[in-house]
Each structure stands twice: as C-alpha cells, then as structure tokens.
Amino acid sequence: MMLIPAFTFRMSLLCVFWVFCALEPVCASRFFNLFSPDLSVQFNIQLTADGEIRYSVYADKKSLIKQGKMGFNLVGQGPLEKGFRWLSIDTSSVDERWEPQWGEERQLRKRCSRMVVHFEQTASGKRLDLECMVFNDGVGFRYHFPSSGRQEAFIVAEELTSFPLAGDHEAFWIPGDYDTNEYAYARTPLSQVHASQELWPHGIGFRSQISDSTVQTPLTMRTADGLWLSIHEAALVNYPAMQLDIDRGELILAAHLVPDAVGNKAYLRLGDRTPWRVLLIARRAPELLTNRIILHLNEDPAEGDFSWLKPGKYMGIWWEMHLGTRSWAGPRDEGDSLSLPHGATTGSMQRLIDFAAANGFTYLLAEGWNRGWEHGDGGWSERKFSFTEAYPDIDLPRISQYAQERGVGLMMHHETYGAVTDYERQLPAALDLMENLGYKGVKTGYVGRLVPRGEHHDGQWMVNHFLYQAQQTARRKFFLVSHESVRPTGLHRTYPNWFSSEAARGNEFNAWSAGNPPEHETILPFTRLLGGPMDYTPGIFPTHAAAGDSFALRRVHTTLCKQLALYVTLYSPLQMAAGNVEDYERHPGPFQFIREVPTDWDSTVVVDAVPGDYVFTARRQKDSADWYVGMITDELARKVTLRLDFLEPGRKYVARIYADAPDAHWQTRPMAYKITEQRVDARDALNIRLAPGGGCAISLRAAE
Amino acid sequence: MMLIPAFTFRMSLLCVFWVFCALEPVCASRFFNLFSPDLSVQFNIQLTADGEIRYSVYADKKSLIKQGKMGFNLVGQGPLEKGFRWLSIDTSSVDERWEPQWGEERQLRKRCSRMVVHFEQTASGKRLDLECMVFNDGVGFRYHFPSSGRQEAFIVAEELTSFPLAGDHEAFWIPGDYDTNEYAYARTPLSQVHASQELWPHGIGFRSQISDSTVQTPLTMRTADGLWLSIHEAALVNYPAMQLDIDRGELILAAHLVPDAVGNKAYLRLGDRTPWRVLLIARRAPELLTNRIILHLNEDPAEGDFSWLKPGKYMGIWWEMHLGTRSWAGPRDEGDSLSLPHGATTGSMQRLIDFAAANGFTYLLAEGWNRGWEHGDGGWSERKFSFTEAYPDIDLPRISQYAQERGVGLMMHHETYGAVTDYERQLPAALDLMENLGYKGVKTGYVGRLVPRGEHHDGQWMVNHFLYQAQQTARRKFFLVSHESVRPTGLHRTYPNWFSSEAARGNEFNAWSAGNPPEHETILPFTRLLGGPMDYTPGIFPTHAAAGDSFALRRVHTTLCKQLALYVTLYSPLQMAAGNVEDYERHPGPFQFIREVPTDWDSTVVVDAVPGDYVFTARRQKDSADWYVGMITDELARKVTLRLDFLEPGRKYVARIYADAPDAHWQTRPMAYKITEQRVDARDALNIRLAPGGGCAISLRAAE
C-alpha cells in the first residue's frame, strides 16, 4: 500500500493513498483509492482487463457501491466504454470556507480530497476525464470531455453510469417520470419498487412515467446497517436530469437520462462537463439534512452583485382559486359576467396589499392577472397567455404605486402552461413591464405538455431554459421561483436569485386531489429538499369543512400547528403565507408565528428526524440571537422531550410555543391549538405532544 | 339552372349561379356553382349522400379538378369528414384595386366571385366554413373553424384536401421534403414521378425526403389541352406547409402537411383559418407569370408604415467563401493564424463599401462577421453563434460609420445553423446592435437540423418563427431576407419588409455541387417564384476555369449575359450583385447593367416564356419611362425576334443590348459577350441570339 504509480501525478495531501498492483510494465496501476479527509470514506477507481472504468465506494469500511460502471454511448460513434488506459492523475485536497448569499447556515466549510483521472480510449484516441471529490459524508464525481481547441460537437445517446448497491435498502422513492415529480413518496425495499403502482392517488395533470422500475432522484435509502444514503446530482447544467433504472434482482441502479424530442439525451461539445453524480452518506438520519455536499459541488455566482436580493415571505391571490371559489380567468371586457368571480382585481389586490403591509410581508403575488386564462389550458397550442396584458379589471400601474407606497414588493406571475418558446419570445417585454412597474420577482409555472413539442420538463432543453430564465431575471435584479420545473441540484448557490422551485408535490395538492399523506412533509427534507429550497406554500389553516365537497378531504392534511412548523422544517429563503386572509384575521394567535418567522438563517440544528416519521429542526435567525423550532410528525402522535441545548449557554429566551391541543387530530380537530409562553435557557427541555398529523412551532426570542 | 335554394343566403352579383336539385325536402340543394367574373372558371361544391364535401373546378368548360375531398382528421376526436349538412351560404363579388408596397406592378386589380359556405357536422355539432374565391385565372379556398366565444384548442392530425386531376399532366416538380426545397426540378408526367430518383446530384446538406411519390408546391403542370396549372397555397400562417402525395395511378394529389416533432400537423383554435389552397390557371404559359391570385389572397399589412422600406441592390462578402478561397471563420484572438484568410475584416469591408458606394449599391452584406463559425456546424447543439460578438479583426462601429459616411446601408447576417430557439433568445440583443450601428436589414440562414429538435423547416413551428422574425424586424424598421426558410406564399404583401427568401436552389449551388442545370432559371419563375421573390443572388461572372478544381464545374452554368438577364427574369425587390469585385472591375461593360438595373417596377410584360425552355421578360422601372428586358434560355441556343411593342408608342428609347457573342456557350465560352447600343421605338423589333445556357439583357432608356 502507498506505492507510487509509474507515471505523472501530483500528490498533495497525506490522506490520498495510491494503491498499486505492479502487474503490468508501463501503465502498471490497475486501481487507485481516494480517501476522505477523515479516511472514513473511500472512492476506488480501477480499469478492468477490457479497459472498462469501474468505481466503488466504501464508508466506515462497509461497501456501498460495488464496481459501478462509467462511460457513455454516443450517437453515431463507437461506445465510450471499453479500451481505456490511464493517462495521468492529479490530486489535491480542498479545505475552504465560503458564505452563501442566503441559506441555512451563514458559513460553510468544504473539506474533501479531489482527484482528476485522465483516461484515453486507445483505439479511438478519445479522451475522458473523471473528476472525483470525496468528503467525510459522501462522494461526487463527474465526467469532462477534454478539448484541444475546436469545440467539436457530439451527442450522448446514453450515460452508462451505474450504482450497484451492497444491499436491498429501504428506499423512499417516487416513480420515474420525464415531466413531473409531483408524486407522493413510496417506501419499499429496492427489490419491491413498483413504480406504476398507484400508491397514493396522484392527481397530476400531465405525466410521462418511464417504467415500472424507474425512480427519481434524490433517492434516499437506509441500509440494514443503519446508514443513510441518498443518490442525486449536483450542478445540472446543459444536460438532462438523471433518473434511475432499478435492476430489482441485482440491486443495480443505472443512470436513465431524460430524452429529448427525438430520443437523444444530451448535445455536448468537447470541453463540456456533466453534472456531478453524488452519493450522500449519513450515519444518523438527521445528518442527511445538514449534508451540504451538493452545495459544495456547485460554483459561486459567475458574476453579478446580489446585494439587492432579499429573502422574505409573500402572500398571494392563490388559495381561493385552488379551492374553486374564485377564478384565475378574468373578463374580456370590463363588466363581462363570469361564472366564478375573478380572483385578481384592483380591489382584491389593494385589500391584500393593505393586509400584507400591516403584517410585515415582503412580497405579494397575484395569479390570474393576465389575459389567457379564459381559454382554458389551450391544449398543446403555442400562444396561451399574454405576459404583458392585464385583464380590464386590474389596474397594474395603480396597484404598483399602491404597493410601493406601503412597502410591499410585487411578485409577477407567469404561468406558461408549457408554451415555453412563446414565453421566451415574450420574456423581454414581460421583464420590461416588471421593471417599469417596480416588481421584485416572478413566479413561473410550466403546467402541462411543452412546446417545443416532444421535449420534457426534465430534458436538456428545459434544463437550459430554467437556467436561461434564472440568468435573464438576475440581469434585471428579479428573484425567480419556478413551479413544475426540474428538481434542484444546488444551483441556488450559483444563481442565488433563483430562490426556490416547487418540483415536488406541494401543499396545493390538498386542494384538488386526494392530497398529501401526513408523512409527506417528513420525507421532503430527506429527498427533494436535498437539492435545494422548495416553494411548498405552507401556512394554510385547515378551516374548511369536508361537507358537500366532491373531494372528501379538500384541505391540508395537517393540524394548524404543523402548518406553522413547516416554515422551519421545509427550508426556503422565500416562504409563502399561503392561506386566506380571512383565516389569518380570525386566528391572530397562530398567525403571529407566520408573521414573525424569518426565512434566512445563521445556523441550523436538526434535533432529530426520521423520514416518514418526524422532523424536528431548530434554526437561528440571520444576524440575530433568536431561534425558531419546527417539529412535525406523520399520522402518529408523538411525545417529545425537546432539549434546548442548541441555545446560547447562559442566555435567557422567551419561548412562545404553538402546540397541538390535546384533542387535536389532522382529520377530526385540525384547528385545535394551544399557545403558551415561558422563559427558558439552554439547560431546559420542553415536553411537546404532537397530534396525529400534527406539529409544533416555537419561537425563542433572546431575552436580553 | 339559376334556381334559388331553400335557405338563407345573400346573392349579390350576377355571375354567381346557384344550381339546385330539388330532391330533398328541407336542405334541398346538393350542389352549388360559383363562377368567375367572366364565367370561364367554375367552382362546384357538393355534399355526397354520406355528407362528405366534394369540390370540382372547371375552366373553359374543361374539368380540372374532379370531386376533390375536403375535411380533416383531428387528434383525439372523430374525423371532420362525413355527415355534414349545409347551414347557409354567403356570396359576394369583389372588384378592388390595390397598390403593393413594392412589386412587379404599381397597381393590382382583384376581381373575383366569393362565397362562404357554412357547414355543420350533424352528429358532432362541429361547424366548418369554406371560403372560396373564383378568379378568371384560378381559384382559392380555405377552411375556417368558427368559434362561438371560447377559443377551444384542437390538433389537426391530417388535412384531407385532395386534388383529383383530369389527366396525366406533365409536371415540373421537386421531391417532397420536410426540410429543404433546394432541389433541381424534374419534368415528368405525374404518373412518372419518382421523387427518390437522383435526377440531378443534389448537394444538399440536410434533407428529409418524404416518399417516392411526394412533391412540393408550387407544382406546375401542363395539360394535354395546353392549359397551364399550378397548385400552391397562399397566406401560410400558423400552419405547416402543404406538400402533395401523388396517387400515380388515379392521378390524385393529396395534401401532405409537414408534421411536427411528435407527428402532429397543426395546433389550432376555434376561430382559426387555414392557408388558402390555390389553383392557378393559364391559357398560355406566360400568363402564369403574371397571375397575381396568390397576392390577392393575402392581406394588406395589419399595421405599420413601411415608407422607410427601400428596395435595392446589395453586394456582399460571400462568393469567395463559397468558392473556398476565404473563410467565414475568423480568428479567436487578433493575430491567430488561420488555415484560410478570414473573409470579413475591417479592411475587406471598407474596400467593399468603397466599391459599393462608387457604383450606387444600396446595401452591403458581410457574412462571417460573428463568432461561432470557428466551431464548424456544431452538430445538433443549441448554441452555435453569437449574434452580437464580432471577430477581433472586425471593428463594427468603425465600419458602420464608414458605410454611413458613404451612403451604403449595412445588412446584418444571422446564420443560425438551425439553432432557432437560441437565435430567438439572442434576437433582442442582436436587433439592438443592428439599431445602434444603423443597419438596414438582415439576411438569415437556417442551414441544417433544427432546434427545437424534431421540428422541420416547413412545419407549423418554423412557419410561425419566420413570421415572428418578419414582425420583429418590421417593428425595428429592418428588412429581412431569409435563406433555408419555408417557400413563400404571398406573405410579402402583408409583411413587405420580408423582401425575399431563398427557399429554392440558388446560384450558390454552382459553387460546391454539380450546380444548377441551365434550364433551372427558366423553371423557377413558373414554380418557386409564384409564391414570392427569391434571393437567387445573380450576377456571378463565369470567369473561373475548371482546371485543378475538385468540382469539374465550380462556376455558374450560364453565360455572362444570362447572369445579367436574371436581374429581370427572376423578380426580387432586393437583388444581390453576387460576384467578386475583381470580376466587376475587370469587366466594366457588362457590370454597367448590374449597376443600372432597378429592383422595383411599375409594370411587367412577359413577352414569352415556357418553363424549362426560356423566359423573356420586360419591366418598366418604377416612376420612370425606362424599360429593362431579360431573356434567358436553357441549354439550347435560340434566335428570337423581340418586338418592342410594350414600349410607350411614339417615344424614342436608347437600347443598350448585352448579348451573348456568336461563339458564346455556357460550358466553353461563358464570358463571350457583345454590347451594342441603338435607338428604337415601339414599332421596332430586335433580333437576339441566345447562346446555349445564354441570355440577353437590354436597357431601354427613354430618350426624351
């Protein structure tokens, strides 16, 4: 062990070991190991006798990935799979601290071992580089296609990367789908994945399911040894999203890239890189929620000053439309009669601005302000919406002035219904309008089948569209929140104005489908949120009765206090207060937590968490000594002793506890809550009871 | 005959006859005839016993179209084909004069009979309207999908329109192809069409041929009776181009719409209309060249003042790149060495501006000014070119100022290599650059496979792109010339800034393929040019010798004088002087014609013409008494007595005749010419000899 191979490389840190078998004369080495800084995680790379690249991952000396494949099939060219030889290896160690524009922590530390392995396919002369980073809590690797000048184009037919797992892990998964990720999660051993099975009535408008054994990432798993793993990707740029085909017998996961309209996967040029393939490793479940490898594998912003960017909370004209009491569609001409009253009008927006201003909300959204909604979803047609023409019952300049005078930032809404090329055509004028009226950001939507026709939401073209949108809005100093977009891969580090995306089953599903099961929000942080913030739109008070409604459960499947706790457990720099104003006015006690809870943090402590069961999270407000706690449970009641040892020692805090009432229950008494206040310090513990489908929110204001 | 049917209609002109068979009680009429103003052309429409719509066309009492089908298959709905009943019919007569922004005539007269037949499909309740116009020289009809409010979307799977012909006409055709129309023409009876046969080595980079029996429109035919017919379409907006499947046994042509990426044809909404299906009829071949029905069936510009628009001629940095002596690609950094010298540089553009200014050219084009060419065609990748970044050896602001000081308008060049969505993203900035630098127009190119992937050059998405481009350029007061675009359908009436398109096999094919056969330019006016002006890029002097060249005939397949005559026979408001400056300097005699020939006309007389043989055209310059004549022949020499009776009687003219020398021949002595001058008047005739592949150009300047 620790022998030096016979060709050039740079060795720059002690914790990188080169394992060398002196069996062959020139390129003697058959495998190399790269260890994490604490030596607990090991990334092994080797060439088979056929010159195929294989990698393995070990943690704490246990095998996690065993002889995973690497390589590509290219369109019109031989496979980039066999016949490789080593050219050289560069290694280095990384230890750097960096500050995100906003986030769950003020400062992050990236500490890992890094290597770049340079391969050549002898017969074709093609080169392929593999870049690996090994952290104490996971690994990331990606491919480079080196260029020597001219950026020759090529087409990826298939990526061959595979993840052969060491056991039949219990997995939290949603079905593989090219166009949507709005499924509820299933939890089965990998060998028992049946993705076409209706585990929970989905209520999804448009989907393109892949196969019975394909699932999406982040795919989070628990090994028999109690390790927690999650496979995802980082920095998804100019490439399709990766889904995973499961070989249920062999327990091998294989990369399944989302195809384009003609069945190809990615159009690249020499000089390009793929996204990172990432394996997150946690010894305890809560550690998975503070694993920051995906952020570390993304880049800092390429350019631009983002000091103008302000995390915050927003209200919106929104939930009443989902409930079906108001309509997105407005009148063609002023005074036209409508079957449902129009949601967004000058009057309704002014009332909401007044309320938002009085309660300290940063932003305000109005859906259904623009022409196009009256035509339904427009089938698969190209032009569906105008992004510059308001309905005649909305006076945009007047509302804009009204909002500015009251210190509320307006948030534009752009639902495309999938007509993306038309949207891009309208975008310059739409952004001009936003700039002229002083808007602060935009929420986009991509419901339905896409134009360009045949493209998928998670394919390369759309991945590039979302980034284009992030860049275009950044240039004009707008923030962006995207719905029905590809799931995030840590790009909010590089594009901080892209605050959040939906890209999962949000709270809205509770309005018009079987809704979300009570365990749903306990799984999201372990899966979807590993990639980045989610616009889940919490804060809906379960005041609606089920009577007389065609959906037996047309309301959130939580207690009121769980809705409050979600502001802490589901991280986003931009949180919606998604409920109706009338509910907030009627219940000022619990509404106080929504008013007060911040959305930007100095530090985060996951007190305890198990996906599918519960999540208890504490966060310290940015530039403040105040803490906020969110505790949520699944359909089971729980009694929890919450130790407050995350608080600053010796300091006194006023804890305001928003707890489920003893008889609270998400189905029968969701509105039953109790608010208490007490002085506490770091030595204290609180006894909290969570109702079935319940939660608890706590504010801890530093007393002095 | 002349009975009145039993339901509502308005009868407003004498020449409309209603033929009525009183066989059924309520909706008694089984067919209707609409006659042209001079009664020579008859359009018959009827319902079969199954309620299918059938139409027939007669001219001079001869049957031309016999029981053509009408209707549609819609995606996810029953066919819109059978079970129709008449609802009502509106008729009117049209007689109006209008002036195009520019053209072959100053004023045009639209005279026709018009009817709209309202149908209902009884079982489905769906409505379909048919609008017909019958002219003395042809017919046009189109479908409306009536809306009663909400613009419900639907998808056209197939248009069922057919054209059953009365005989096995001789046809001038190019193979059906979704992506290119750059074929040389074949001439066979319809029953002998074999579209996959290599009639002329095509040299086309990217094509998507449809079937052995599919051809493109305009499809021009000669009947055994000596009538000339052409099937095409007018006002192709928001719909795919129509190609024609030939049933070679039954002699039925059927509409074949270009599909989109997923195989659908068109995405429409209630309220939409299809393009016009047009049958042009000429008793003599030359009359086909002055048939203006396609223009009449288009609309006037919807909005905008086009007084800024100026027809003219341009020169360009172009031909030397096609010849391979200079390169589109420039250096990455100043001083980089290149395998071929860069064509467009500050110096080369300044020299060309000097020459263009000295010779009265309106515009100047430089291809290869922008970054991206150095990467080759980029495969099928998305981002290929920058449309704002010039190579370092081109100082755009300096050139722009230089051109402005000398009164030469700069013309931008945007080659997309098919990456259209990226082009649309860059378009606002690209147009800003053009505006800031004072450019006058833009020439676009769409070589290769498209992004959006799976879309075709002639499909609905691209049709809409080309119109979008015409609108975007018009808004900024730029003219547009498009290459590799869908063939025109008279839309230059509605979008006059869209000066011309290529959309056929242009002169450039002579640089790098087997070239164009000598008959090619005699067929173009009878086919491609029926839809609108072409940017053929004439004026290339056949000075290059064949020796030492890998292409045996790497030069134009004409004599020099034919290149001159093309300026008159191939109409365009914007003509290129496409040859090299050195050739023009060396041959100032013939170059004088290129300098003088105008591009906008008060009137046009086609003295004689037969497709595939010869075209002799005379045109009077706009706002002038001067005439210009172009005469071209195919591979055969011809002796022609040209009567000058088109001239103003009693007026004297100085005729300057650019004729082939006696020994001229396109293959052996293409440069042999003779220029003579004589005084003539309308009673004179000129004896002209056209060499094989030759031509003759004449200017006739009014003497007083």
CA distance A526 to chain B (A): 35
Contact A107/B at CB under 8 A: no
Closest CB to A452 among B150, B377, B421 = B421
From residue A153, give the alpha-carbon distance in Å to each of A126, B162, B260, B379: 13, 43, 25, 5
In terms of domains, do A69 and A153 share one? yes
pLDDT of A376 reads: 82
* Closest CA relative to residue B630, chosen from B652, B645, B615, B650: B615
Q: Is B425 on the interface with A (CB under 8 A)?
A: yes
Considering only CB atoms, which chain B residues are within 8 Å of A381? Answer: 153, 267-269
Selected for mutation to probe chain B from A272, A380, A423, A424 (highest B CB count within 10 Å) is: A380
Q: How many Å is the maximal CA-CA distance in chain B?
A: 87
The answer to whether A452 contacts B267, with C-beta atoms less than 8 Å apart, is no
Does B358 lie in the same domain as B290?
A: no
Task: Give tens-digit pLDDT for B376-428.
Answer: 888 899 889 999 999 999 999 999 999 999 999 999 999 999 999 999 999 99
Beta strands of B341-492 (E only): which ranges? 363-366, 409-415, 441-445, 479-482
Q: How far is A576 from chain B (nearest CA, A)?
A: 31
**Residue A569 located in a structural domain:** yes
B170 CB near a chain A CB, below 8 Å? Answer: no
Hey, are the CB atoms on A268 and B382 less than 8 Å from each other? Answer: no
Average pLDDT, chain A: 93
Give strand pairing partners of A73: A158
CA distance A292 to chain B (A): 32
Answer yes or no: is pLDDT of B375 > 80: yes
Cross-chain residue pair A151–B375, CB shorter than 8 Å: yes
Q: Nearest chain B residue to A373 by CA: give it.
A: B150
Percent of residues in chain B assigned helix, strand, coil, to nearest 5 = 15, 35, 50
Cβ-Cβ contacts under 8 Å between A and B: the total is 110
Nearest CB partner across the interface for B267, out of A374, A375, A382: A382
User: Which pLDDT tens digit goes with each residue over B107-149?
Assistant: 999 999 999 999 999 999 999 999 999 999 999 999 999 987 7
B329 and B272 within one domain: no
Which residue in the list B182, B233, B484, B508 is annotated as catalytic?
Answer: B508
Min Cα distance B343 → chain A (Å) is: 20
Q: Are residues B283 and B326 in the same domain?
A: no
- In terms of domains, do A263 and A326 share one? no
pLDDT digits (tens, 9 = 90+) for A127-144: 999 999 999 999 999 999
The tokens describing A155, both together, are 């087409």
Q: Which domain-ending residue is among A582, A600, A618?
A: A600
- Cβ–Cβ contact A261 with B under 8 A: yes
Contact yes or no for A380 and B464 at CB 8 A: no
Q: How far is B428 from chain A (nearest CA, A)?
A: 8
Same domain, B67 and B127: yes
Report the residue of B262, B264, B265, B453 to disrupt the A interface, i.e. the one with the largest count of A CBs within 10 Å.
B453
Of the candidate ranges A600-609, B15-24, B688-697, the one whose mean pLDDT is the lowest: B15-24
In Å, how far is B410's CA from the nearest CA of chain A?
26
| Cβ-defined contact of A452 to B461 (cutoff 8 Å) | yes
**Can you tell me the ipTM of this complex?**
0.92
Q: Are residues A207 and A336 in the same domain?
A: no
**Residue of chain B with shortest Cα separation from A424:** B425
pLDDT digits (tens, 9 = 90+) for B27-50: 445 789 999 999 999 999 999 999
Residue B664 lies inside a defined structural domain of this protein: no
Using CA atoms, how far residue B288 sits from A166, B58, B523, in Å, is 77, 17, 12
Does residue A328 have a pLDDT over 90?
yes
CB contact under 8 A, B453 and A461: yes
Q: Is A307 contained in some domain?
A: no
Q: Using CB atoms, which residue from A150, A261, A269 is nearest to B381?
A: A269
Does residue B216 sit in the same domain as residue B269? yes
Q: How many CB atoms lie within 10 A of CB A225?
A: 13
Point out the residues of A that are catalytic: 508
Which range among A507-511, A637-641, B311-315 shows the weakest confidence by mean pLDDT?
Answer: A507-511
Residue of A506, A564, A501 whose CA lies nearest to A696: A564
Last residue of a domain, one of A567, A600, A633: A600
Q: How far apart are CA B497 and CA B495, in angstroms?
A: 5
Cα nearest neighbour of B452 on chain A: A452
A260 touches chain B (CB under 8 A): yes
pLDDT band (50, 70, 90) for residue A282: very high
Q: How far apart are CA B5 and CA B3, in angstroms?
A: 6
CA contacts within 13 A on the Cβ side of A40:
9
B264 and A CB contact within 8 Å: yes
Task: Kindly determine whether residue B425 and residue A150, on different chains, have CB atoms separated by under 8 Å.
Answer: no
In-domain check, residue A625: no
Domain interval for residue A185: 3-296
Tokens of A197: 């099975």
**CA nearest B107: which of B310, B297, B296, B305?**
B296
What is the predicted pLDDT for the residue at B548? 45
Calculate what percentage of chain B has a pLDDT beyond 90: 87
- Whether residue B87 is contained in a domain is answered as yes
Is residue A25's pLDDT more than 50? no
Cβ neighbours of B381 in A, within 8 Å:
153, 267-269
Closest CA to A349 of A370, A367, A371, A372: A367
- Does A433 fall in a domain? yes
**Given an 8 Å threshold on Cβ–Cβ distance, is B262 in contact with A455?**
no
Render the burial of A147-175: b for 16+ CB within 10 Å, e for the rest: eeeebbbbbbbbbbbbbbbbbbbbbbbbb
| Whole-number pLDDT of residue B202 | 77
Looking at per-residue pLDDT, the higher value among A595 and A555 belongs to A595
Place of tokens 């004026």: B539
Instruction: Quote the tokens at residue B536.
Output: 């053929």
From the CA of A452, how many Å to the nearest CA of chain B? Answer: 6
Query: Of A61, A59, A79, which Cα lies nearest the Cα of A69?
Result: A79
DSSP B54-96: EEEEEETTEEEEEEEE--EEETTS--BSS-EEEEEEEEEEEEE
Residue B220 within a domain: yes
List, edge to edge, every strand of the sheet that includes B627-633: B601-610, B614-621, B627-633, B695-702, B653-660, B673-680
How far is the C-alpha of B502 from the C-alpha of B523, rounded, in Å?
A: 15
pLDDT of residue A241: 98
Where is pLDDT greater, at A274 or B333?
A274
Q: Does A17 touch chain B (CB under 8 A)?
A: no
Q: What is the pLDDT of residues B57-113, one digit of tens each?
A: 999 999 999 999 999 999 999 899 999 999 999 999 999 999 999 999 999 999 999
For the segment B289-312, the average pLDDT, to the nearest whole number, is 95
Contact A153/B376, CB-based, under 8 Å?
A: yes
Cβ pair A153:B260 closer than 8 A: no
Nearest to A468 among B151, B425, B455 (CB): B425
Q: Considering only the beta carbons, identify the residue of A155, A421, A464 that sits closest to B452.
A: A421
- Which residues are registered as beta bridge partners of B114? B92, B133
Q: What does the pLDDT look like over B159-202, one tens digit per residue?
A: 999 999 999 999 999 999 999 999 999 999 999 999 987 666 77
* Contacts B375 to A, Cβ<8 Å: 150-153, 269
Residue A136 shares a structural domain with residue A188: yes
State the pTM of this model. 0.94
Closest CB to A455: pick one of B150, B452, B468: B452
Residues 626-665 of A with CB under 8 A from B: none
Domain boundary, last residue among A600, A620, A635: A600
CA dihedral A374, A376, A379, A382 (to 10 degrees): 30
Residue B590 located in a structural domain: yes
| B424 close contact with A: CB closer than 8 A | yes
The number of residues making up chain A comes to 704
The CA distance from B238 to the nearest CA of chain A, in Å, is: 10
pLDDT-based confidence at residue A2 (cuts at 50, 70, 90): very low
B458 in the same domain as B396: yes
Instruction: Identify the residue among A238, A421, A426 best suited for mutation to test binding to B, counting B beta carbons within 10 A and taking the highest.
Output: A421
Chain B residues inside the 8 Å CB shell of A151: 375
Is A376 an interface residue toward B (CB < 8 Å)? yes
Q: Which of B269, B424, B453 sits opposite A261 (nearest CB)?
A: B453
* Residue in chain A lying closest to B262 (CA): A454
Cβ contact B267–A424 (<8 Å):
no
Window 278-317 of B: residues touching A by CB (8 A cutoff) are: none
- Quick one: B250 exposed, middle or buried, by C-beta within 10 A (0-12, 13-18, 19+)? exposed
Chain B: nearest CA to A143, how far in angstroms?
A: 19
pLDDT band at residue A199 using 50, 70 and 90 as cut-offs: low
Specify the CATH number for the domain of residue A580: 3.20.20.70
Total of domains in chain A: 2
Residues of A in contact with B378 (CB under 8 A): 153, 269
CB contact under 8 A, B380 and A267: yes
Radius of gyration of chain B (CA): 26
Do B371 and B238 share a domain, yes or no? no
A453/chain B closest Cα distance in angstroms: 6
Residues B221-270: tens digit of each pLDDT: 999 999 999 999 999 999 999 999 999 999 999 999 999 999 999 999 99
Are B440 and B553 in the same domain?
A: yes
CATH number of the CATH domain containing B191: 2.70.98.10
Would you say B417 and B455 are in contact if contact means Cβ atoms under 8 Å apart? no
